[in-house]
Every structure is written in structure tokens, then in C-alpha cells.
Amino acid sequence: MRYSEAKKRAISVLMEAGIEEAEVDSEYLLLNVTGLDKAGLLMKLFEEMPEEEEKAYDELIKRRSTHEPLQYIIGNQNFMGYTFLVTPDVLIPRFDTEILAELAGKRAYEAVLKIFKGSGECDLGIDNTEFRILDICTGSGCVPVSVGLDLYKKIRSKNIPTAISVTAADISEAAVEVAKKNYKLNLDEYMSDMSAFESTGTENNISGLEYRFVISDLFNNIEGKYHIITANPPYIVQKEIEDLMPEISEHEPRLALDGGADGMDFYRRIVKEAVDYLYPDGRLLMEFDDSQAEPVADMMKEAGFTEVEVHRDLAGLRRVIEGRFLG
């Protein structure tokens, strides 16, 4: 069978199974099986496909036809320009969550500049030499890995000597393992890209950048204070999980989705507890669903946060909330 025929057959199998992106997914999986890029595939489209490749392709198409997410089949997803390994133990990074990562990166950089310039406006930590970020409900680690590495690159390019410490925590041991791998993967990538690598540091850390991975039910195993805390907690109303696409409801971890009876279980706990883990002038940033904007904002104000602000995603929905904690 030619590549073109195999692809055509795959498209009809996926369409039959009700997969909306049948054409795109068929091509993705074909590229994955052949190891070709788009141009390479185009050149080969009318050549015979080796039988083994055809079998492997059929196998992947079969998996996709059961609504297993493409990313679990391929094994990764891009987020903020980085590649993240994904397994069924972690939520697949969403593009919407880039709003959270971008904002966290922006706030972190602004705060680092304040520390660096020694602005007397605020007290940003004990000795002001280490900038500390905490991400809870970390899952694949997409938020802390992208935010920490981006911040590190940015401040190093400006010769700002502040050290960065990032803690990524999740209640799931399996998720923490995935997050660790994702850090290693992207750190290695960064180091191999760098011409002048500062070779001090240990296996997982380079000079001025330290990552910790912790198994923790929210803050239970967290120590110390942080300048920025981020979270994309489970926030789906429990009863509504079944109504989501089967890709989500049948394949993604329930643990990462289920926000309890009203979807707000985790915000109640996080908002209350976060204040004990923030430095004065620290910030809490969380992702949520549009419908949760008001109650979460009220909760944050009540807990003592100021400058509580909601940010919208590309679809115009309220997606991220932030607040400043004066201490």
C-alpha cells in the first residue's frame, strides 16, 4: 500500500470513529511512524509503504479511534515552545494554560528587577539573592519548567545575578516523575543549545538555577516562602466530567480534573493556605474556568490579596486570576 492510500484509509477509520480532526491526526501519526517531516512525507506519498510501517501505523490509528488523545499516543505536547512528555498520569498541557505561564513569567521578571535594583518598596525575601517560585498541582511540570527556564534565560541575558529556585509539587508520585523528566529533557536541550555553558552545578542544576520536585497534597510537604505561587488545579465540576469529550473524560487523569461538587474545592484550600507560603509582596496566580472568576476573586480578596486581577484567554474567556499579598 502506498503512503497516500494508508493515509486515506486512516482518515476514513478516524472519521468513522467520530474523530473531528481525522485528517490532521492521520497525518500526525503518519509522520510519527515514519519519522519524516511534512516535506519528506510529501515526496514519498506515492511510494510503497513498508509492511512493518503500515502495521505500526494501523496500530496507532486504532488507538486514536478509541479517542485516546493524540498526545498520549505520540507521547508529547508542545507548551511555551518547549516539548513536554505526557503519559496518562498527567493532564496534557493546554494552550490556554500558556496564559498562566506567560503572566507568571512576566510577574517573576518584574519582581526580579525590583530585587536587583534593590527598590525599597518591598521586602522580597530574606537575603534577596534567590528568587523562589512554587507550582502546585504541577502535573507534567509544563508551567514551572517553562517559567523557570524562560526566566533564567532572560535574566542571564541581562547579566542579572539573581539565583532562581523552582519547586514543583503534585500529589501524584507518577506525575512528579513525569515533571522531573520534563525538566531534565528541557534543561539538556537548553544546555546543548548554549555555546558558553556555565559548567558549575550538579546533575540537575546549573549555576543559579535549582529545581525541586516534591510529592505533596497542595502545601502539605512544602517548606519556606515563595515570591510567586502558581497553580492549575483540578477545577471541573465533578458531575460535568462525564459530559466532556471522551479524550478527556475517559483518558485524562480524573485526579487532575475533578474539582469536587462545585469545582471549587482546590481554590478554597489554596487561597487559604497560600498566604503562609508567600513572601510579603508575593503573588498567587491560578488558572480557572470562566464561571469561577467571581467566587475565586472574592475568596482572594477575603484572604487579604490586593490587586486581584482576572486575565482572559484567546477565546475571550476569563482564565487566569492573580493577586498580590502584602503580608
The whole-angstrom separation of Cα 104 and Cα 133 is: 9
Q: Choose between 122 and 174: whose C-beta lies nearer to ligand GLN.
A: 174
Find the shortest distance in angstroms from Cβ 139 to ligand GLN.
8
Q: Choose between 10 and 320: whose C-beta lies nearer to ligand GLN.
A: 320
Hey, which residues does 133 pair with through a beta bridge? 166, 228
Phi, psi of 278 (to 5 degrees): -110, 140
Minimal CA–CA distance to 251: which of 79, 73, 98, 95? 73
Find the shortest distance in angstroms from Cβ 270 to ligand GLN.
12
Q: Which of 248, 255, 303, 308 binds ligand GLN (CB under 6 A)?
A: 248
Q: Within 10 A of 5 (CB to CB), how many other CB atoms are there?
A: 14
DSSP 212-269: EEEE-STTTT--S-EEEEEE----B-GGGGGGS-HHHHTTS-GGGTB--TTS-HHHHH
Q: Which of 69, 144, 234, 282 binds ligand GLN (CB under 6 A)?
A: 234
Sequence-separated (6 or more) residues with CB below 8 Å from residue 287: 96, 97, 99, 100, 231, 232, 233, 235, 319, 320
Residue 225 is a binding residue for ligand GLN (CB under 6 A) = no
Q: Choose between 20 and 123: whose C-beta lies nearer to ligand GLN.
A: 20
Q: Which of 236, 270, 274, 297 binds ligand GLN (CB under 6 A)?
A: 236
Residue 172 is a binding residue for ligand GLN (CB under 6 A) = no
Chain-centre distance for alpha carbon 97 = 7
Residue 257 is a binding residue for ligand GLN (CB under 6 A) = yes
Q: How many chain residues touch ligand GLN (CB under 6 A)?
A: 9
Residues 88-117, mask of contacts with ligand GLN (x by CB under 6 A): ---x--x-----------------------
Residue 285 is a binding residue for ligand GLN (CB under 6 A) = no
Minimal CA–CA distance to 104: which of 301, 319, 290? 319
Q: Choose between 140 and 232: whose C-beta lies nearer to ligand GLN.
A: 232
> Where along the sequence are the contacts to ligand GLN (CB under 6 A)?
91, 94, 232-236, 248, 257
